[in-house]
Structure 1
Amino acid sequence: MRTQVAIIGAGPSGLLLGQLLHKYGIDAVIVERKDPDYVLSRIRAGVLEQGMVDLLDEAGVSARLHQEALVHGGFEIAFAGQRHPIDLRGATGGKSVTVYGQTEVTRDLMEARSAAGLTTIYDAADVSLHDFEGAHPKVRYVKDGTTREIVCDFIAGCDGFHGISRQSVPASAVQSFERVYPFGWLGLLSDTPPVSPELIYVNHDRGFALCSMRSMHRSRYYVQCPLTDDVADWSDDRFWDELKSRLDPETAGKLVTGPSIEKSIAPLRSFVAEPMRFGRLFLAGDAAHIVPPTGAKGLNLAASDVYYLSRAMREYYAEKSEAGIDAYSASALRRVWKAERFSWWMTSQLHRFPDSDAFSQRIQTAELDYLVNSKAAITSLAENYVGLPY
């Protein structure tokens, strides 16, 4: 098979890149090792920056988003038993974020790709990348017991942290930066109305908590927990009781509980691989970087990578210029590291660390108290939360 761009991974970053390239008249084939149902079963975050919404508009896949999504002009930070509003619109000149689940973004992109008759190869086993340092990269995979090959101009590695794309690069060519956090997030999804119309981030002596939602009828809640915990030991009742203990009394009194649809423990890490380009192989999204979910930047960073990469490829084919692809890694990494900083900062301020002493906890409280009472600090927080410009 011959194509211009082979995209590895049919998650949101791979699908969004494929859709944008289609709009630009660039042929792309997506190779995915799992089946569509598995891809859609992955429960992920859903706070979208305006930049990502704009990309979904450009890709022509945002109709349902604009009908069903929730637009949030702020959120709350709770500490010392009190909630404090953060006015995103007021601090950023009217900017907001959009709450729309990553699963729904993926579904919209999959349906658009199918409707356009574009090629996605699911259940591709033993995927391997070859010759990406030369002019004619190749992707090999096994489908229905037969080994097949795609010859292409470029490979876009959008296959996540554990995918084959980054693993295909010689270790000596990659520099990795990582911080693993000593706790996880226990998340529960339930068909219950959210406790608040906007997200609540909670700093508490018992640990971090987050009240969020997917819609006005489906809620997503999190509590910080040790990595050694087993999700099987967390009954729904135990989860709800722990969450209530970390909320202020008014919020705890309003909380509507119900049976969980999904429950899982997610570890937290910060990770960046540099560079993000290796010859004609480009990494995007989780294949190149991971952020803790505290700042809601993971999916949005993948979108910004796709922004830079899609435009670089459009420039290459339309203008015969390699300037964009040559600048891709540096352009993407500048934004990546700013988001890494922001996510690390929010994680540091809102969680209880195992080695935290009384001094550290007082400093944390002082930092949060300064934040909610400083126009400059709120503006800095809001600018990062709604998304820095591409």
Structure 2
Amino acid sequence: MPTISEKGKLIPASPIRKLTPYADLAKAKGIKVFHLNIGQPDIETPEVMLNAVKNIDFKVWAYTPSQGYTSYREKLATYYNNLGYNINASHILVTDGGSEALTIAMLTCFNPGDEVIIPEPFYANYSSFACLADVEVVPILSTIDTGFALPDIGEFERLINTKTKGIVICNPNNPTGYLYSKQELLALKALCLKYDLYLISDEAYREFCYDGNEFISPMHFEGIDEHVILIDTVSKRYSACGARLGCLITKNQGVLEAGLKFAQARLSPPAVAQIAAEAALDTPKSYFEKVVREYTGRRNLLVDGLNKIPGVYCPTPGGAFYVLAQLPIDDADKFCQWILESFSYEDKTVMMAPATGFYSDAMAGKQQVRLAYVLRQEDLTEALKCLEKGLAEYPGRTIC
């Protein structure tokens, strides 16, 4: 019979979605599952965005330009310039989600066999995008002891060789929620200039920064325009994950020209999503202020609740809507399956993402899970009860 490609064998399964069959079986038994495994916000999508979809009146659902509607890119440029990015519409390539933006960036900037350094734990699909582009991910470990701060820049430098062509960061970080400081980003800037590397910055969670912490982008720095590629998406900002619309932004003309050719190969980004996203740029500031207050409360509840459970440790993240917690367990994959398959408390249980999928080393993150605080505080409280009861009963618990 025909065989599967080597790439098909190598591309990793999603740690975020792979336990879905067990959650479905639990639901079939009448058990309520609290989904903390995936970054699907329950915050309502802005009304102005939904109304734009409801009021569409075109007669032909036509192709859009490969780089995206001009009106949308011009309005996007205004949004970014209000954040101090100093760009124009020609610097923006609209994509089918942030995922396509990252894939195009890797296909454009790297040759097969090139290496890209990524601080880990990192968003699991980075490995998938690198696999598609035949790029080698070189991980650099950040640890829970430091709250997942950026490793010392000297550690980055020791990994650089003739194959090293770039660094990828996610800020604020998925899965850790860590918010990189200006000093950390300036150190990366200096490194990229010294070794002539691309710096790809995934900023999907830009709006979600807490405790008065300031968000800093490499786009804010002078003298690095040719090196920086920004990745963004409407998924998290507007609670519009299903729109599947993102963008790639750079002032590097060569990257834009090559990236557009990849965009032309897939024809065009979605029309309806662009109409909605263009309208979403009129979302009032009060919407985001309310969302940040809500996520701050959820974060505090979840982190405090986790740290009260015996044997559990969870640092307080500065952004995004995830935490990475250390649990007193033998194996995160086994535990996350067990709590869905073999446990319930008052007919409820919790779904989490094993952290093993966010590390390159199969043995790393064995006692860690990622939890997304995308549910109401009442549900988070119930989920914490389930987790505490589950840990007490789990056969592979490592402390008494």
Task: Give TM-score scaled by structure 2 length.
Answer: 0.20
Instruction: Give the structure, 1 or 2, with the largest relative contact order (CA under 8 Å, sep 6 or more).
Output: 2
Q: Per residue, is there more strand in 1 or in 2?
A: 1
Task: Give TM-score scaled by structure 1 length.
Answer: 0.21
